[in-house]
């Protein structure tokens, strides 16, 4: 299985604890492709259909990217829920984010969250 940055995969995130996103859900791969072919785990951002309009710092809405994302419902990427998962949690690829402006916006949000600006 080849996993690449900016792809959206269905993953099994159970078990989860507390406020962690759990169950089978889409995730966005944010890990560098330098690691992906060799590493046994992957850094991801969970995706939710519980869309929140006023959370632009902590979420990125994928509605404008519905065709390429492979998602059928309105969804937000949970920027503040960074998680590294074992690659055996990945079930199947759903789509990807090809929009460079969307990729840049998500990277900016991650930098802000991690105080890397």
Q: What is the span of the domain harbouring residue 56?
A: 7-113
CATH number at residue 24: 2.30.30.110
Report the pLDDT value the prediction gives residue 56, as an integer from 0 to 100. 79
The pLDDT of 85-110, averaged and rounded, is: 96
pTM of structure:
0.93
- Average pLDDT (77-95) is 95
Is the per-residue pLDDT at 74 higher than 80?
A: yes
State the pLDDT at residue 4. 96
- Give the number of domains in the chain: 1
Q: What mean pLDDT comes out for the span 73-89? A: 94
CA distance linking residue 109 with residue 114, whole number of Å = 9
Tell the burial category of 78 from Cβ atoms under 10 Å away from its Cβ (0-12, 13-18, 19+): buried
Q: How is 16-42 classified by DSSP, letter by letter?
A: --TTS--SEEEEEE-S-TTTTTT-SEE
């Amino acid at each position: 299985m080849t996993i690449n940055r900016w792809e959206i995969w269905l993953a099994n995130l159970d078990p989860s604890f507390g406020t962690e996103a759990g169950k089978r859900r889409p995730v966005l791969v944010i890990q560098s492709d330098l690691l992906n072919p060799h590493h046994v785990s992957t850094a991801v951002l969970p995706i939710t259909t519980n869309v929140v309009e006023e959370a632009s710092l902590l979420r990125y809405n994928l509605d404008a990217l519905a065709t390429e994302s492979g998602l059928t419902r309105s969804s937000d990427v949970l920027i503040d829920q960074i998680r590294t998962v074992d690659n055996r949690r990945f079930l199947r690829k759903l789509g990807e984010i090809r929009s460079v402006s969307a990729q840049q916006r998500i990277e900016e949000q991650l930098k802000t969250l991690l105080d890397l600006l």
